[in-house]
């Protein structure tokens, strides 16, 4: 009830939630009480939780931030949703997001923009901006998100909280509405690294219903929380610090790195020579996959269907024209273009080659260090509407995050101080495959 009251008090202004499920939350809370009484409670039993509206929830609307799915109720739960239900977490609602998770500012949702709790004239970041804002505004202590090109780390940074995206394949994509399947990965938001560890541990695990889900044993993400930083080698990629960061972000990031050194870490310079190619590679691969994934929204099986049409083709066209917003349409067009005969080799295949080079850069860098650190976002949160008319400017904001997804590595963002206007700055830590616990351990020592 505290969480629901807090949503009631704050969300009129923030708009972090698309749906609040008060009845479901109270019923789940009562069930959690019973488990606490009979001694069968786990670490998340009774903890209020919000899911990004990209995760399917049985009986509760799943809109994915789109008019296309504005009335869609899934007949089943996403794998992550069932795991957290079984762990006893109490879902209070579904959070706002950029339409189909495409965006960096949370302004493209059919439910209207989410506002940054630190300054409601600013964006919270995206596309999981509703989840980040809900945690930052203390409406819920934990929330889920997805990160295809930075959508957990970037809003975490702009909202002053911690957010982690694990190694690709660790969190099942079953029931998570697909944007770019080879990049999409579920992730966790909380105020602290310690709480992120508890949530992420409960989310990871093999699921036969996702063909990219990795069959392995998943460690406790909190296993290294007590590990001192002495001896940890932190790699600083030359290219991340060369240009692009605003001065205030640079100052906060430098100060956070100095603090890591004071706590015993060793700093080493590393190089990611192809990092500058990550944005062009990502903005070919992600739209290509999106154009294919979004072909399922045809007005036939689910989602918006135009009220009037002349024949089947007209119905497809009108339903999609009415149901999708401008950014989604832009990406479908780019995606179909780069996949089309004659352009496939020039764009799509080339982007896949760059992807390999980027992954190799990380592998080489990780021979010299244990963790890579740098900024999460080039600036602090910017004004609502400031970049909506210039998609390329918006894409460039993803400069520090997308390479990680192309390589499939785990990475987090944790609060690193404050920049212009007293707004939060995030520090990004990137780890080796399956080293989530090390990342969270380092962030916990810092915090």
For the annotated catalytic residues, the residue numbers are: 52, 127, 151
As a whole number of Å, the end-to-end CA separation of the chain is 29
Rounded Cα–Cα distance for residues 150 and 164 (Å)? 10
Per-residue contact string for residues 391-420; x = within reach of ligand GLN by CB under 6 A: -------x----------------------
Least CB distance to ligand GLN at residue 356 (A): 20
Rounded Cα–Cα distance for residues 428 and 52 (Å)? 21
Task: Check binding of 236 to ligand GLN (CB under 6 A).
Answer: no
Sign of the Cα pseudo-torsion (337, 272, 232, 260, in order): negative
Least CB distance to ligand GLN at residue 266 (A): 31
Q: How many residues bind ligand GLN (CB under 6 A)?
A: 14
Beta bridge mates, 425: 417
Task: Check binding of 428 to ligand GLN (CB under 6 A).
Answer: no
Sign of the Cα pseudo-torsion (224, 225, 226, 230, in order): positive
Of 95-103, 301-309, 382-390, 415-423, the segment contacting ligand GLN by CB under 6 A is 95-103
Per DSSP (E only), the strands in 295-422 are 371-375, 411-418
Beta carbon nearer to ligand GLN, 179 or 347: 179
Contact 189, 131 (CB under 8 A): yes
Site for ligand GLN in 176-215 (CB under 6 A): 179
Site for ligand GLN in 32-91 (CB under 6 A): none
Rounded Cα–Cα distance for residues 145 and 412 (Å)? 12
Among residues 66, 104, 172, 445, which is the contact residue for ligand GLN, using CB under 6 A? 104
Task: Check binding of 127 to ligand GLN (CB under 6 A).
Answer: yes
Beta bridge mates, 424: 418
The strand pair at 17-20 and 90-95 is best described as antiparallel
Among residues 4, 47, 84, 102, which is the contact residue for ligand GLN, using CB under 6 A? 102
Q: Report residue 64 as tokens.
A: 């994915």
Which CA distances in Å does 26 have to 86, 139, 147? 16, 15, 29
Phi first, then psi: give them for residue 94, nearest 5 degrees.
-115, 135
Of 23-31, 79-87, 107-115, 145-153, the segment contacting ligand GLN by CB under 6 A is 145-153
Task: Check binding of 99 to ligand GLN (CB under 6 A).
Answer: no
Of 79-87, 100-108, 238-246, 334-342, the segment contacting ligand GLN by CB under 6 A is 100-108
Among residues 48, 88, 93, 103, which is the contact residue for ligand GLN, using CB under 6 A? 103
Least CB distance to ligand GLN at residue 246 (A): 18
Identify the H or E element spanning 153. helix 153-159
Least CB distance to ligand GLN at residue 377 (A): 11
In three state form, how does the secondary structure of 202-241 look? Answer: HHCCCCCCCCCCCCCCCCCCCCCCCCCCCCCEEEEEHHHH
Least CB distance to ligand GLN at residue 148 (A): 4
Least CB distance to ligand GLN at residue 382 (A): 14
Task: Check binding of 253 to ligand GLN (CB under 6 A).
Answer: no
The residues that touch ligand GLN, with contacts defined as CB under 6 A, are 101-104, 127, 146-151, 179, 286, 398
């Amino acid at each position: 009830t505290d969480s629901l009251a807090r949503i009631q008090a704050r969300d009129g202004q923030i708009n972090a939630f698309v749906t609040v499920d008060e009845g479901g939350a109270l019923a789940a809370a009562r069930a959690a009480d019973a488990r606490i009484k009979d001694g069968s409670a786990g670490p998340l039993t009774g903890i209020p939780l919000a899911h990004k509206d990209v995760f399917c929830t049985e009986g509760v609307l799943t809109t994915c931030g789109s008019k296309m799915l504005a009335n869609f109720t899934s007949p089943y739960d996403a794998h992550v949703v069932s795991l957290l239900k079984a762990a006893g977490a109490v879902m209070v609602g579904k959070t706002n997001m950029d339409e189909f998770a495409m965006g960096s500012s949370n302004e493209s949702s059919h439910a209207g923009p989410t506002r940054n709790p630190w300054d409601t004239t600013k964006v919270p970041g995206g596309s999981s901006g509703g989840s980040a804002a809900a945690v930052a505004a203390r409406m819920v202590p934990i929330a889920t998100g997805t990160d295809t090109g930075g959508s957990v780390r970037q809003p975490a940074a702009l909202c002053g909280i911690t957010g982690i995206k694990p190694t690709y394949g660790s969190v099942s994509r079953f029931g998570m509405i697909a944007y770019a399947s080879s990049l999409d990965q579920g992730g966790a938001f909380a105020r602290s690294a310690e709480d992120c560890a508890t949530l992420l541990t409960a989310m990871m695990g093999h699921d036969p219903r996702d063909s990219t889900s990795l069959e392995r044993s998943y460690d406790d993400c909190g296993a290294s929380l007590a590990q001192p930083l002495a001896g940890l080698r932190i790699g600083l990629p030359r290219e991340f610090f060369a240009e692009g960061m605003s001065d205030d972000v640079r100052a906060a990031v430098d100060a956070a790195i100095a603090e890591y050194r004071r706590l015993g870490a060793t700093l080493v310079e590393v190089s990611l020579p192809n990092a500058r190619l990550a944005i062009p590679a990502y903005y070919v691969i992600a739209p290509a996959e999106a154009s294919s994934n979004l072909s399922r929204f045809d007005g036939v099986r689910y989602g918006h269907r135009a009220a009037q049409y002349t024949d089947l083709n007209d119905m497809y066209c009108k339903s999609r024209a009415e149901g999708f917003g401008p950014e989604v349409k832009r990406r479908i067009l780019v995606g179909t273009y780069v996949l089309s005969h004659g352009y496939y080799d020039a764009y799509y295949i080339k982007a896949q080659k760059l992807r390999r080079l980027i992954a190799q850069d990380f592998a080489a860098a990780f021979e010299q260090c244990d963790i890579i650190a740098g900024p999460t976002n080039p600036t602090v949160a910017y004004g609502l509407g400031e970049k909506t008319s210039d998609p390329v400017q918006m894409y460039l904001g993803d400069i520090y995050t997308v390479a990680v997804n192309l390589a499939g590595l785990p990475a987090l963002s944790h609060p690193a101080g404050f920049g212009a206007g007293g707004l939060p700055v995030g520090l990004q830590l990137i780890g080796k495959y399956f080293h989530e616990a090390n990342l969270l351990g380092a962030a916990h020592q810092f915090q």
